[in-house]
């Protein structure tokens, strides 16, 4: 990939979907992945995952970019828009089909049920049409990943999710396919993101192996919860951080990640806070458990 970036060393990324403005949980993922890259003198890329037009919120991409800049989280190289990567996603899809690793399926969401997909269409040899999704044939062999924070995570995909969708009925790549193809293309060496995606990692590892892609490390940061104990998410309209002073947002996110700011730095501008954070950052200080963040202290 010729994007003016180096070809060696650590490369991380932040990959928000433009389904809303950045909330506290997404700032935690952005900041953690940024610090993990910067403390290893690595690069930090920004990829906007805009492959789900119905869930895209107008103006969200711009709001995310402006918010990252306001917080001093400057990325390397050009912003990648996942929507522009369709040719590569189609090539991966076609490879899976050509190698017999995926099959078309006409089960509706209701027919496929809530648990592991039972493989109803696995042997039907359906031809593609406008009602078909494409499912990956998963293996009964347990897939193990070693998360930098959580240690070994083992999943038997036939039991947890079954053959999962890699190409959607709307003719868009499913998240897992797009994310592994693009992480590999970007040369990402470690994926740092929220722990809500921990379960996704063995699924993504399996797909990487099917496609012969490089296998990045994974590191899943603690999730920020709302007062009801649910994950903060753009879909549940978690409060955007854009209305809060940048220093207060960074201070709260650093505290959440186990790096409480020394009181001498209270209210310091983002560049100063981040310089301190870069010198102090250690994954050993990051707590594992999901919890509610402390209220922001402007």
Length of the chain: 298
The DSSP call for residue 11 is E
Tell me which residues in 47-66 interact with ligand GLU (CB under 6 A). 49
Alpha helix segments (H runs only) across the chain = 24-38, 60-70, 86-98, 109-112, 157-160, 175-186, 200-211, 246-256, 270-280
Closer CB to ligand GLU, 16 or 293, in the complex: 16
Q: Min. distance of Cβ 263 from ligand GLU in angstroms?
A: 33
Bridge-based pairing of strands 165-167 and 133-136 is antiparallel
Nearest distance, CB of residue 271 and ligand GLU, angstroms = 25
Quick check: 179 binds ligand GLU (CB under 6 A)?
Answer: yes
242 secondary structure, DSSP code: T
Residue (of 7, 78, 10) closest to 43 by Cα position? 10
Question: Which is nearest to 178 in space by CA: 166, 160, 189?
Answer: 166
Q: Which is nearer to ligand GLU, 163 or 183 (CB)?
A: 183
For residue 259, what are the contacts with CB-CB under 8 A and spacing of at least 6? Answer: 277, 280, 281, 285
CB of 210 to ligand GLU, least distance (A): 18
Interface with ligand GLU includes 203 (CB under 6 A)? Answer: no
Interface residue with ligand GLU, options 193, 203, 220, 259 (CB under 6 A): 193
Phi-psi group of 246: left, alpha or beta (phi > 0 → left; psi -120 to 50 → alpha; rest → beta): alpha
How many residues bind ligand GLU (CB under 6 A)? The answer is 7
User: CB of 170: closest distance to ligand GLU in angstroms?
Assistant: 17
Q: How far is the CB of 296 from ligand GLU (least distance, A)?
A: 22
> Residue from 197, 207, 223, 241 that binds ligand GLU (CB under 6 A)?
197
| Binding of ligand GLU by 45 (CB under 6 A) | no
Q: Which is nearer to ligand GLU, 105 or 173 (CB)?
A: 173
Q: How far is the CB of 203 from ligand GLU (least distance, A)?
A: 11
Q: How far is C-alpha 119 from the chain's CA centre?
A: 27
Footprint on residues 10-29 left by ligand GLU (CB under 6 A): 15-17
Q: How far is the CB of 206 from ligand GLU (least distance, A)?
A: 15
Rounded Cα distance between 173 and 187, Å, is 20
Q: Indicate the residue among 132 and 221 with the shorter CB distance to ligand GLU.
A: 221
Q: Which of residues 111-140 bind ligand GLU (CB under 6 A)?
A: none
Side-chain-side CA neighbours of residue 272 (13 Å): 10
Which chain residues interact with ligand GLU by CB under 6 A? 15-17, 49, 179, 193, 197
């Amino acid at each position: 990939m010729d994007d003016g970036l180096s070809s060696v060393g650590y490369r991380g990324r932040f990959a928000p979907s433009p389904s809303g403005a950045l909330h506290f949980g997404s700032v935690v993922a952005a900041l953690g992945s940024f610090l993990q890259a910067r403390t290893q003198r690595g690069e930090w890329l920004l990829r906007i995952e805009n492959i789900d037009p119905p869930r895209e919120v107008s103006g969200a991409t711009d709001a995310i970019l402006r918010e990252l800049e306001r917080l001093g989280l400057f990325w390397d190289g050009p912003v990648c828009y996942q929507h522009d990567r369709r040719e590569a996603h189609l090539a991966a899809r076609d490879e899976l089909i050509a190698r017999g690793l995926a099959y078309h399926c006409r089960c509706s969401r209701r027919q496929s049920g809530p648990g592991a997909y039972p493989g109803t269409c696995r042997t039907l040899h359906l031809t593609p049409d406008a009602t078909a999704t494409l499912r990956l044939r998963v293996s009964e062999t347990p897939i193990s990943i070693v998360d930098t924070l959580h240690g070994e995570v083992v999943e038997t995909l036939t039991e947890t999710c079954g053959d999962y969708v890699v190409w959607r009925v709307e003719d868009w790549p499913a998240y897992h396919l797009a994310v592994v193809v693009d992480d590999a293309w970007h040369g990402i060496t470690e994926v740092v993101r929220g722990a809500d995606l921990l379960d996704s990692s063995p699924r993504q590892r399996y797909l990487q192996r099917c496609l012969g892609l490089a296998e990045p490390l994974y590191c899943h940061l603690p999730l920020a919860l709302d007062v009801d104990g649910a994950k903060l998410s753009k879909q549940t309209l978690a409060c955007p951080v854009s209305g809060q002073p940048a220093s207060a947002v960074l201070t709260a996110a650093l505290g959440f990640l186990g790096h409480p700011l020394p009181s001498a730095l209270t209210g310091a501008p983002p560049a100063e806070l981040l310089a301190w954070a870069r010198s102090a950052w250690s994954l050993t200080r990051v707590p594992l458990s999901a919890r509610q963040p402390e209220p922001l202290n402007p």
